[in-house]
């Protein structure tokens, strides 16, 4: 049995005071959650959120990280820095990083391996663009992205230390969601791709869906057997909405 994981990706939203307020409102609403609950906040909010989630079941996540331990990498953050702030999860290879900041499968791999070796849990994002789905190579692409990202990890690490987020790019922030069946099918394809290299680790690794997931569609998506959670953008910015997704809205 895979424990579901619902993570909020706040993107470039919230100041420290706003972040603390959001998690303070959220905490009682998700206290009885049956899944893991994570908020991935901008780094300037780590201290405020870490303080506000003390004694709750909410875990702290980051939105990116560099693979080197330290050095001349202006603007970057290392795994050790994140961990020192109480971060346990880190989103890697988000499509916005790939699209706007030149992130590649190779650098996603470096970041993923560095995160796992440092004891952080990466949430590795993969997904196809609209034209790639229309051209018929979604399955090949998401398997490729996933296997490149995981290269260098052991089967044990893939099983226990990694989360994958399948996020069709055309569904992110657009209000368009993959249908329950589309999301389930593609996640199943990713899982079989993982099986081809890592064997039974495929049965343990958690694979989320992301892309306009919200209180209305969470139930249908989470009822699908392959879908182990969600990576939530827009709907994670309001405590009530996010708490409803965490409750898979009944």
Cβ proximity to ligand PGA, 115 vs 172, nearer residue: 172
Q: Provide the token pair at 75.
A: 């603007």
**Cβ nearer to ligand PGA, comparing 87 with 213:** 213
Q: Give residue number: closest CB to ligand PGA.
A: 233
Which chain residues interact with ligand PGA by CB under 6 A?
Answer: 9, 167, 172-173, 210-213, 231-235
Q: How many CA atoms lie within 13 A of 102 on its CB side?
A: 0
List 94, 96, 128, 226, catalytic entry: 94
Q: Could you confirm whether 167 is annotated as catalytic? A: yes
CB atoms inside a 10 Å sphere around CB 44: 11
Q: How far is the CB of 37 from ligand PGA (least distance, A)?
A: 15
Cα separation, 206 vs 222, in Å, equals 13
> Count of residues for the chain?
250
Q: Report the C-alpha gap between 37 and 129 in whole angstroms.
A: 28
* Residue pair 71/81 in contact by the 8 Å Cβ criterion: no
Give CA–CA dist 124/208, Å, rounded. Answer: 10
Smallest separation (angstroms) from ligand PGA to the CB of 176: 9
Which CB atom, from 108 or from 201, has the smaller least distance to ligand PGA?
108
State in angstroms the smallest separation of the CB of 233 from ligand PGA.
Answer: 2
Question: Is 96 an annotated catalytic residue?
Answer: no
* Cβ at position 232, least distance to ligand PGA in Å: 5
Q: Which lies closer to ligand PGA via its Cβ, residue 159 or residue 231?
A: 231
- 103, 128, 167, 226: the catalytic one is 167
| Cβ contact 46:86 at 8 Å | yes
Question: Annotated active-site positions, please?
Answer: 94, 167
């Amino acid at each position: 049995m895979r424990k579901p994981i619902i993570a909020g990706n706040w993107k470039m939203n919230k100041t420290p005071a706003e972040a603390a307020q959001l998690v303070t409102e959220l905490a009682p609403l998700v206290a009885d959650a049956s899944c893991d609950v994570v908020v991935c906040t901008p780094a300037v909010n780590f201290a405020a959120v870490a303080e506000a989630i003390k004694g709750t079941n909410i875990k702290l996540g980051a939105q990116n990280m560099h693979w080197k331990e330290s050095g001349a990498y202006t603007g970057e953050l290392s795994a050790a820095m994140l961990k020192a702030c109480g971060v346990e999860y880190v989103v890697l290879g988000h499509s916005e990083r790939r699209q706007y900041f030149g992130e590649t499968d190779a650098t996603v791999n470096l970041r993923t391996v560095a995160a796992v070796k440092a004891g952080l849990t990466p949430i590795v994002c993969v997904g196809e663009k609209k034209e790639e789905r229309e051209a018929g190579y979604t399955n090949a692409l998401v398997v490729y992205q996933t296997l490149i990202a995981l290269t260098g990890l052991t089967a044990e690490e893939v099983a226990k230390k990694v989360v994958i987020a399948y996020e069709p790019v055309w569904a992110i922030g657009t209000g368009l969601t993959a249908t329950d069946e589309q999301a389930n099918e593609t996640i199943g394809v990713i899982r079989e791709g993982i099986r081809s290299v890592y064997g039974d680790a495929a049965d343990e690794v958690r694979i989320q869906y992301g892309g306009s997931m919200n209180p209305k569609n969470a139930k249908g998506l989470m009822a699908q057997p392959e879908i182990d959670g969600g990576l939530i953008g827009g709907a994670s910015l309001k405590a009530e909405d996010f708490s409803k997704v965490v409750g898979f809205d009944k």
